């Protein structure tokens, strides 16, 4: 009997493995991962510093424990090189592994800006435990951190660094912080709270050149200002890992294309998590992947179950000014109505039918989440 093979041991890979066992799947299961296979919750990476947590603290289970708990075989430090969908075989280091069903949970990788200058290759990105270990090591010799990308992840790292006593400067072309998820007034409230804690913002300016100095790095911004720090962190978003799927002949778009049952363009190959574009939507957050894992666990154990997303607000861990936001679906026409001040904002997005199509709550207003969720138009 050929096993189910899952590629990836992030929250999506381990999530579907758990769901399969929970639903009584009793046959062989193999998980393959290019990292060390320890279980951790990725969102903790941008809030762990202030809590004093090392990478080892964040890893809540070893690969051996995960293998025992899941009654699965886990292959760490293994990169899947290719998939042959017709033969139902994948290859790792030239060796062939047959599968009955294949599940792609290969995640997303940080977008690497085409930076110039002799310091460009020293710019860090933090997307897994190994990156985080490296980040902490560099921080131990640093006091000033420059963050390229004042979006969700950049603002969370800024918050964590400020709370941990670092000097933080944020740089990016954006007009206001977290501009893809928040209306301007809400972004400005976050900006003010982080500024009060010492953050320096350089918005609508960056020339993409990082130079090494005798000690640390510098960049000259388009507006002529100079930023000098001990390390630069880039947090400009993630891109779904589609290379393996594309090279294996699967349909890819922004993510690996699946239908609402998470089936890719190839029979017996499924995808979920940050890598997947499910019925036209790539949603790189925890709630969608948990919902997907539950649905796929049912489907693969005999009860075909489509992925149906409810409203899924995103909590942003800027503890100096917390945020809950449910941005309108891309392409929705309408407008934001925003109330409040720098201590807290309530934003409601009304669509062209004058129905509530999104919201944001910040600061002292986040407790309104449950009541505003009830106002949302049903999906």
Ligand X SMILES: Cc1cc2nc3c(=O)[nH]c(=O)nc-3n(C[C@H](O)[C@H](O)[C@H](O)COP(=O)(O)OP(=O)(O)OC[C@H]3O[C@@H](n4cnc5c(N)ncnc54)[C@H](O)[C@@H]3O)c2cc1C
CB 283 to ligand X: min, Å: 8
According to the binding rule CB under 6 A, does residue 145 interact with ligand X? no
CB 236 to ligand X: min, Å: 12
CB 50 within 8 A of CB 318: no
Place of tokens 């990308």: 149
Q: What count of other Cβ atoms lies within 10 Å of the Cβ of residue 68?
A: 12
CB 305 to ligand X: min, Å: 19
CB 316 to ligand X: min, Å: 7
Binding residues among 230-269 for ligand X as defined by CB under 6 A: 241, 244
Binding residues among 181-210 for ligand X as defined by CB under 6 A: none
- Judged by CB under 6 A, which of 4, 63, 269, 286 binds ligand X? 286
Residue 33 or 193: which CB sits closer to ligand X?
A: 33
Beta bridge partners of 276: 256
User: Residue 118 CA to chain centroid, in angstroms?
Assistant: 29
According to the binding rule CB under 6 A, does residue 358 interact with ligand X? no
Distance CA 12, CA 256 (A): 14
According to the binding rule CB under 6 A, does residue 46 interact with ligand X? yes
Residue 46 or 191: which CB sits closer to ligand X?
A: 46
CB 363 within 8 A of CB 193: yes
- Judged by CB under 6 A, which of 10, 117, 151, 297 binds ligand X? 10
According to the binding rule CB under 6 A, does residue 11 interact with ligand X? yes
Distance CA 113, CA 116 (A): 9
According to the binding rule CB under 6 A, does residue 285 interact with ligand X? yes
Q: Which of 273, 308, 277 is nearest to 293 (CA)?
A: 273
- Judged by CB under 6 A, which of 106, 147, 257, 300 binds ligand X? 106
Q: Which range in 34-42, 114-122, 174-182, 245-253 contacts ligand X by CB under 6 A?
A: 34-42
Q: What does the DSSP assignment read for 47-73?
A: TTTTTT--HHHH--B-HHHHHHHHT-E
Distance CA 272, CA 294 (A): 11
Place of tokens 């941005």: 327
Whole-angstrom CA distances from 60 to 54, 141, 248 are 11, 27, 34
Residue 13 or 119: which CB sits closer to ligand X?
A: 13
* Contacting positions for ligand X (CB under 6 A): 7-13, 32-35, 42-43, 45-46, 79-80, 105-107, 127, 153, 241, 244, 273-274, 284-286, 289, 314-315, 317
């Amino acid at each position: 009997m050929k096993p189910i093979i899952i590629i990836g041991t992030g929250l999506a890979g381990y999530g579907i493995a758990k769901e399969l066992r929970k639903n009584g799947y009793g046959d062989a299961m193999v998980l393959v991962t290019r990292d060390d296979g320890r279980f951790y919750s990725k969102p903790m990476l941008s809030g762990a510093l202030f809590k004093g947590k090392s990478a080892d603290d964040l890893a809540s289970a070893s690969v051996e424990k995960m293998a025992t708990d899941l009654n699965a075989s886990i292959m760490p430090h293994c990169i899947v090189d290719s998939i042959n969908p017709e033969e139902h075989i994948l290859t790792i280091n030239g060796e062939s592994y047959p599968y009955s069903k294949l599940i792609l949970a290969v995640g997303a990788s940080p977008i690497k800006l085409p930076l110039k200058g002799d310091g460009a290759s020293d710019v860090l990105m933090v997307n897994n435990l190994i990156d985080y270990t490296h980040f902490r090591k560099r921080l131990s010799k640093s006091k000033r951190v420059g963050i390229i990308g004042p979006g969700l992840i950049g603002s969370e790292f800024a918050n964590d660094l400020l709370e941990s006593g670092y000097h933080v400067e944020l740089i990016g072309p954006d007009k206001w912080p977290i501009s893809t998820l928040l209306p301007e007034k809400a972004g400005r409230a976050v900006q003010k709270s982080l500024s009060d804690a010492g953050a320096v913002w350089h918005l609508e300016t960056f020339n993409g050149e990082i130079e090494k100095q005798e000690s640390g790095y510098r960049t000259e911004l388009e507006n002529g200002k100079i930023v000098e720090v001990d390390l630069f962190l880039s947090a400009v978003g993630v891109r779904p890992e589609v290379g393996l799927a594309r090279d294996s002949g699967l349909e890819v778009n922004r993510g690996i294309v699946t239908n609402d049952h998470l089936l890719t363009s190839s029979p017996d190959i499924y995808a979920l998590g940050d890598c997947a574009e499910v019925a036209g939507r790539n949603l790189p957050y925890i709630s969608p992947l948990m919902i997907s894992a539950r649905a796929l666990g049912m489907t693969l154990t005999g009860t075909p179950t489509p992925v149906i997303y409810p409203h899924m607000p995103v909590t942003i861990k800027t503890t100096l000014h917390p945020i809950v936001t449910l941005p309108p679906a891309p392409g929705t026409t309408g407008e934001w109505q925003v109330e409040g001040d720098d201590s807290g904002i309530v934003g409601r997005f009304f669509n062209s039918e004058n129905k509530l199509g999104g919201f944001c709550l910040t600061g002292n207003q986040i407790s309104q989440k449950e009541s505003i969720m009830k106002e949302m138009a049903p999906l």
